[in-house]
Structure 1
Amino acid sequence: MRTINYGIIGCGMMGQEHLRNIALLPETRVAAIYEPDAEQAQRSLAIAPDAEIVSSVAALLAIETLDCLLVAAPNHLHVDLFEEIARTRPLPLLIEKPLFTSSEQVDRLRQLEASYPAPVWVAMEYRYMPPIQKLIDEAKDATGGITMLTIREHRFPFLPKVGDWNRFNRNTGGTFVEKCCHFFDLMRLLMQSEPVRVMASAGQDVNHLDEVYNGETPDIWDAGFVIVEFENGTRAMLELCMYAEGSRYQEEITAVGPKGKIEAKVPGPGRFWPEHLGAAPVPQVIVSPRNPPGPVTIDVPVDATALAAGDHNGSTLYQHQKFVEVVRQSGVPEVTLECGRKAVEMGLAAQLSATTGQTVDLTSH
């Protein structure tokens, strides 16, 4: 089995999580890194000491031994970087979410979607968290077909990032794009239908109000609700609170249908769990049939090595395992550019709805 060589563009907090997980894959290595921040570049070398640090994207793309690329740069750079890669050397690509940050970029993304000649996998890690994967696998049988879906995330505030780029909507696309495109992707996946209307209410209630960067106060929201209606008549709701880090579970996903209910309960990163409370919670899936009634709780533990390699319940490792197989076999990604684009379009619609107080119709998009 030949070694797969990654080139990495962007190695801040999430990029370094990718490095730790790539290091766990057999016959796979990080060959080169482009990270313009010197401190983050040195931290990256501590994780991937054999990687070559290069001074530009062009220099990275010129390395002949590369087999694939990972883009983990700040959100607002994704489309520009994608276009540069497409022009210069369109290798198989794993690109972090969100794919883009504004409606003005949609046409550019669609052109890339139509013309990029190699596989592109959008990094929707939440699909691959073991408890969420189990819910996805069993939802149809447990519910008899989902009619209602609720996703609740009660978590810690946005973490500091290089240059504080994630404090401002112009860089992130807004909280419903940056943080929540994962959840809109899960909605489409579970409902097996396309969204037609989005209604949202959100705001900046608690976090970052006393922070100032170059004379500016952050404008990212920290709480909100989103309701989505789908073509097939089903409905989904997102509840987000980013000042609820004292919660036992960070994500709670509930799917309901005529046969019953299935829930996934996912704890946050173990490094944030208070030591005085002992071991961090184990993820769970709970199946509650209507007939005969009675919930069944199933623990879904995550492999300790995968858990220790990042903040996403092992999902980054499982995602890379599948992506590397696509690279080796010229396969088809499970999370396509279309998936990534539509998740962002839903997030942008939620941002617009919460800003205007109006329902956003997606059927005209």
Structure 2
Amino acid sequence: MAGGTWPATGRGRKRGRDVKTIRYGIIGCGMMGQEHLRNIALLEDAEVAAIFEPDAAMRAEAAAHAPGAVLVDSVAGLLAVEAVNVLLIASPNYLHLRQMEEIAAIRPLPVLVEKPLFTDPADAPRLVALRSAYPAPIWVAMEYRYMPPVAHLVAEAQAATGGVKMLTIREHRFPFLHKVGEWNRLNTRTGGTLVEKCCHFFDLMRLIAGCNPVRVMASGGQAVNHKDEVLPNGERPDIWDNAYVIVDFENGLRAMLELCMFAEGSRYQEEISAVGPLGKIECLVPGPGRFWPAHLGEAPVPQVIVSPRDPKGPRVLDVPVDPALLAAGDHNGSTYYQHAGFNRAARGEQAPAVTLTDGWWAVAMGLAAQESARTGRAVVLATEGYAPH
């Protein structure tokens, strides 16, 4: 993929560095799309030029967030708005790849696409074709990389540990929220919980490891959530709400994910620890502030804790997040920092930090974990068709 090349598009500029104001075309303005709108409003030299959102209620809310944007009724209509010079895809998971292909065929602008890139293993060849031919930057939205406490841990992990040997990610959180048409209740539309939700964590594992996974073992299922729900079309939700996943990497690092989506009473939502021969570093990340019980006072402050083996004794660092960024979304300010990086990539000032290959591996690891949980056996990535090629 040509990371910094700006496509020729009618009157469009050939090089990203010539672009002054970033003008977004937004595809999908549900809950996450509106978080993107709020964060774009905080950026310098960025605005929303056009929005495609088919649901009437979500479209009205999006228009209130971006009153200057043109509202259109299709992806093609969005691409026809000449002012648009970058794109954000925040539609339901199963539409991402199809919409990227449509963009590639009409007007391949720089794209920030929400995770996951795809939901069906059979779609992998289509992603190969897109990756080899798309002429502009594509940045996969992995917000967890940009949460300040997580970013601090990633930056310091090797020095603090002397080389990470064991990595544990625990997420204890609330159930899936209600979304338009309840699309997030079905494996066929989401790719399954270990793809839809957990691709973030598999991306972090691979980022910290600095190499690719080789084997995945998992156990998971639907124990508590959504079991009494009936969807508008009569189907019952089959989305999982808990799992354990173990991943072995090429360099010998072992990683584990513990997911529970019926633990919203927890003080911290994410707890990540990395351990090596010199010590341990961990970070504690609270969930969205709007869910914190008001009677308990202020929400917890994110923390990073470094625990060397010698001299023993943990050092605790508070990592507060700008209140304006906390108010703009549910991801501890990360959506803002992600957009700032994407804007630099769109201008040709850097390559995408999260590439199609990164996004592909995150999905491949989730699919392999779900297969392992379903069959009760370990999945070897390189030999069983889950690894990107």
Residue 308 of structure 1 corresponds to which residue in structure 2? Answer: 327
The equivalent position to 2:280 in structure 1, one of 261, 285, 288, is: 261
Q: Does 1:180 align with 2:198?
A: yes
The equivalent position to 1:320 in structure 2, one of 336, 339, 345, is: 339
Q: Does 1:334 align with 2:339?
A: no
Q: Does 1:81 align with 2:99?
A: yes
Aligned length: 365
Q: Aligned-pair distance for 1:331? A: 3.1
Q: Deviations over 1:125-167 (max 9, x none)?
A: 0000000000011101100000000000000000001010000
The equivalent position to 2:77 in structure 1, one of 42, 59, 64, is: 59
Tell me, in whole angstroms, the C-alpha distance in 1 between the residues paired with 2:130 and 2:278: 42
Once the two structures are overlaid, the 10-residue window that deviates more, 330-339 or 11-20, is 330-339
Residue 27 of structure 2 corresponds to which residue in structure 1? Answer: 9
Q: Deviations over 1:264-310 (max 9, x none)?
A: 10000000000000000000000000001100000000011111100
Aligned-residue RMSD, C-alpha: 0.8
Aligned partner letter, 1:47: H
Residue 232 of structure 1 corresponds to which residue in structure 2? Answer: 251
Note if contact 1:119-1:331 (Cα within 8 Å) is conserved in structure 2.
Answer: no
Task: Find the residue that maps to 1:329 and give its secondary structure.
Answer: coil
Aligned partner letter, 2:118: F
Tell me, in whole angstroms, the C-alpha distance in 1 between the residues paired with 2:318 and 2:260: 25
Identity %: 67
Tell me, in whole angstroms, the C-alpha distance in 1 between the residues paired with 2:20 and 2:100: 26
Q: Does 1:24 align with 2:42?
A: yes
Tell me, in whole angstroms, the C-alpha distance in 2 between the residues paired with 1:119 and 1:27: 19
Q: Does 1:291 align with 2:316?
A: no
Q: Does 1:194 align with 2:212?
A: yes
Note if contact 1:36-1:55 (Cα within 8 Å) is conserved in structure 2.
Answer: yes
Residue 6 of structure 2 corresponds to which residue in structure 1? Answer: none
With normalisation by structure 1, the TM-score equals: 0.99
Aligned partner letter, 1:236: A
Q: Which runs of 5 or more structure 2 residues have no equivalent in the other structure? A: 1-18
With normalisation by structure 2, the TM-score equals: 0.93
Tell me, in whole angstroms, the C-alpha distance in 1 between the residues paired with 2:66 and 2:258: 38
Q: Aligned-pair distance for 1:239? A: 0.1
Tell me, in whole angstroms, the C-alpha distance in 1 between the residues paired with 2:178 and 2:65: 20
Aligned partner letter, 1:201: S
Q: Which runs of 5 or more structure 1 residues have no equivalent in the other structure? A: none
Tell me, in whole angstroms, the C-alpha distance in 1 between the residues paired with 2:350 and 2:297: 43
Q: Aligned-pair distance for 1:2? A: 2.4
Q: Aligned-pair distance for 1:242? A: 0.1
Task: Find the residue that maps to 2:150 and give its secondary structure.
Answer: helix
Task: Find the residue that maps to 2:68 and give its secondary structure.
Answer: coil
Aligned partner letter, 1:218: P
Aligned partner letter, 1:361: V
Tell me, in whole angstroms, the C-alpha distance in 2 between the residues paired with 1:288 and 1:27: 42
The equivalent position to 1:151 in structure 2, one of 152, 155, 169, is: 169
Q: Does 1:223 align with 2:242?
A: yes
Residue 127 of structure 1 corresponds to which residue in structure 2? Answer: 145
Task: Find the residue that maps to 2:237 and give its secondary structure.
Answer: coil
Residue 9 of structure 2 corresponds to which residue in structure 1? Answer: none
Task: Find the residue that maps to 1:42 and give its secondary structure.
Answer: helix
Tell me, in whole angstroms, the C-alpha distance in 2 between the residues paired with 1:2 and 1:335: 23
Q: Aligned-pair distance for 1:330? A: 5.6
The equivalent position to 1:138 in structure 2, one of 156, 159, 164, is: 156
